[in-house]
Amino acid sequence: MKVGHTDVLVIGGGLAGLRCAIGARRRGLEVRILSLVPAKRSHSVAAQGGMQASLGNTVRGAGDNEDLHFEDTVRGSDWGCDQLVARMFTHMAPKAVRELAAWGVPWNRVERGSAEAIINGQRVILTERDEAHGLITARDFGGTRKWRTCYTSDGTGHTMLYALGDRAVAESIPVDERCEAIALIHDGGRCQGAVVRDLVSGELSAWLASATVIATGGYGRIYGVSTNAIINEGIGAAIALETGVARLGNMEAVQFHPTAIVPAGILVTEGCRGDGGVLRDVDGHRFMPDYEPEKAELASRDVVSRRMAEHMRRGKGVKGDGPEHLWLDITGLGAAHIDRKLREVRDICHHFLGIDPAREWIPVRPTQHYSMGGIRTDHRGESPTLRGLFACGEAACWDLHGFNRLGGNSVAETVVAGMLVGEYVADHVRDEGSAIRLSPALARAFIAREQAALEAILARPAEEDAHAIRRAMEATMTEQVGLFRDEAGLATAVETLTGLLARAGRIGTRNKRRDANPELVLAWRLPKMLKLALVAAEGALARRESRGAHCREDYPARNDRDWLKRTLVSWQADGPHFEYEPIEVEAMELPPGFRGYGTRNIIEHPGTAARLGDTEAQRAALAGAGRDAVQAALLPFEALLPERYRGRNARLGEVGQ
């Protein structure tokens, strides 16, 4: 049994894992990355539309700053996020974009002078400032008050991932490709590394590490139709859950993106609407302004998705051979714009639909897209219950997004979290490293346990068919734990998933090969995926309110009085255990309010009015003191940042101030 040692083990080679590894490596630590696939093929590569950062270079972004980005993020989360984390994040995002620019991401740049754009269906002329020429530009995205989303055409994730992937090579960080972490090694209090299965040879080994970072992305593939890469099966979150010690947070918070193509479920970016595209129904009518007169297609994602579903329920969907859908119309943008700024969209339409989006409408419907929930950590990325276990990126719930993530905030989060957690991990190893006792005997025991479990699968007869169970799970999640939820559906879902989990223990394989065996991989992963599905469904059943993407038709109000709290779940011998952690109103810089969509339907928290009065009084007392001083009084965060990242972000208008 091979047992290796490293300072830091990073599980996941997407944006978050790579950036975290680079940070720890630069602090002089030995770092190793594991990935199911070559790092540059990670799901991050598929991000299209862009990355939010309040640079304020483009004229429609002028005046933007951390405060506005923070407020948009908190509103977007439906007040479910951790505002401290949101503050750290919005402070870091401009640095992250600028670092990536230096490392080679060819962000689209501001072009001085006048050019035509489409805003809310109207043609307008925008004139860019001379002094902004050549700086990083931005496009409009849903739920933001400024044009803040930086991009490289619609291949943003690709350029970011390649820049970081190559930077990791430059830093000589080894990446073990086609290697799956299948269990965390821990002693009940501290994580000591992971058991790893080589997906080619089938062999097991282990890495012992002073710090283990899970950056394995989302769990979208527990749903039948998802925009996610097919490897986004949530195994990283599942192995954390299976420790019984680490907790997952808000697993019921699942986002549906308004525009995935039908039937394949491949995403076309929010940038389509940001750049002026509109949604149309079976009659060709642009319906979003009827529901959301102000923000229309650029309302927050959860809102647009629900409005689309609502409109289809009213019989306005397009019915054909495949699933019912609506239309995304970007013909108004013109071929030239599409060729330059939406070329992936053009290619996707061409290859998968056989249409030219410059001339034809794109069939779309809301589709599972993003996992707000994940491994619960503190603002440093560490599990509060399992020391030495860190998480960042989509796999984590340090809780930037609460119950709804804004478009463009995820790739920004991955890199920001990577930058921060890389530093905190390095601090952790520096401060505690010498005292940590890593146990090769423990590692061997864990390898033996996992080996026995794998052998058991190979040894048993194929009583249950993995594909049938998987399809039943996917259908249950899509139908009953989807865009709209209610007590009856969720209760049925919990029952179904519990039954499937029991059956999954009887899955066998037809071929008994240990190496490169796709059947064994599925038989192995499916029970883990079912556990995630079950905790998401149970969490949703328990949460009797509607918040962000979690929409209970039987409890339509956002209930701050009873539900301003985060769901935590751990897996015990008898199944999932739920706990709740309050989101403190008293500590909020932006107390709970109305997001401005539909009609106001909020059951107030008893502390909201007082905190509102308090923050207003503090603002009044500090009138004229400058926004930084006001902010620091309301929610101090600077001291929590690594020292190297505490500087103010320069902006065009503010240069020299």
Ligand X SMILES: Cc1cc2nc3c(=O)[nH]c(=O)nc-3n(C[C@H](O)[C@H](O)[C@H](O)COP(=O)(O)OP(=O)(O)OC[C@H]3O[C@@H](n4cnc5c(N)ncnc54)[C@H](O)[C@@H]3O)c2cc1C
| Residues designated as active site | 257, 273
Decide whether 148 or 611 has the Cβ nearer to ligand X.
Answer: 148
Q: What are the φ/ψ torsions at residue 284 (nearest 5 degrees)?
A: 80, 5
Q: Select the residue interacting with ligand X from 9, 24, 29, 48 (CB under 6 A).
A: 48
**213 forms part of the interface with ligand X (CB under 6 A):** no
Tell me the site size for another protein, rule CB under 8 A: 79
Contact window for another protein (CB under 8 A) among 74-82, 109-117, 284-292, 297-305: 109-117
CB atoms within 10 A of CB 338: 23
**205 forms part of the interface with ligand X (CB under 6 A):** no
Residues 6 or more apart whose Cβ sits within 8 Å of residue 569: 241, 247, 248, 249, 251, 535, 538, 539, 576, 577, 578, 579
Decide whether 235 or 541 has the Cβ nearer to ligand X.
Answer: 235
Please identify which residue in the block is written with the tokens 């769901």.
567
Q: Select the residue interacting with ligand X from 27, 32, 49, 376 (CB under 6 A).
A: 49
Shortest distance in whole angstroms from residue 41 CB to another protein: 4
Q: Select the residue interacting with ligand X from 9, 31, 46, 262 (CB under 6 A).
A: 46
Query: 31-35 and 175-177 as β-strands: parallel, antiparallel, unpaired?
Result: parallel
Q: Hey, which residues does 139 pair with through a beta bridge?
A: 149
**627 forms part of the interface with another protein (CB under 8 A):** no
Q: At what angle do helices 156-170 and 15-26 cross, to 10 degrees?
A: 30
**286 forms part of the interface with another protein (CB under 8 A):** no
**324 forms part of the interface with another protein (CB under 8 A):** no
Structure-token pair, residue 48? 């299209």
**374 forms part of the interface with ligand X (CB under 6 A):** no
d(CA 410, CA 406): 8
d(CA 106, CA 503): 50
CA distances from 410 to 49, 152, 304, 523 (A): 11, 16, 18, 31
Instruction: Enumerate residues 30-69 that contact another protein by CB under 8 A.
Output: 37-38, 40-43, 45-46
Q: Select the residue interacting with ligand X from 3, 8, 10, 15 (CB under 6 A).
A: 15
Decide whether 287 or 398 has the Cβ nearer to ligand X.
Answer: 398
Instruction: Enumerate residues 388-447 that contact another protein by CB under 8 A.
Output: none
Residue 8 near residue 428 (C-beta atoms within 8 A): no
**54 forms part of the interface with ligand X (CB under 6 A):** no
The interface partner of residue 12, options being ligand X, another protein, none and the CB cut-off 5 to 8 Å by kind, is ligand X
Say how many CA atoms lie within 13 Å of 261 toward its Cβ.
21
Residue 114 near residue 583 (C-beta atoms within 8 A): no
First vs last C-alpha separation in the chain: 61
In the stretch 174-193, what mask flags binding to ligand X with x, by CB under 6 A? ------xx------------
Decide whether 410 or 649 has the Cβ nearer to ligand X.
Answer: 410
Instruction: Enumerate residues 236-275 that contact ligand X by CB under 6 A.
Output: 236, 267, 269
Residues at the site binding ligand X, with contacts judged by CB under 6 A: 11-17, 34-37, 39, 42-44, 46-51, 156-157, 180-181, 215-217, 227-228, 231-232, 235-236, 267, 269, 369-370, 393-395, 407-412, 414
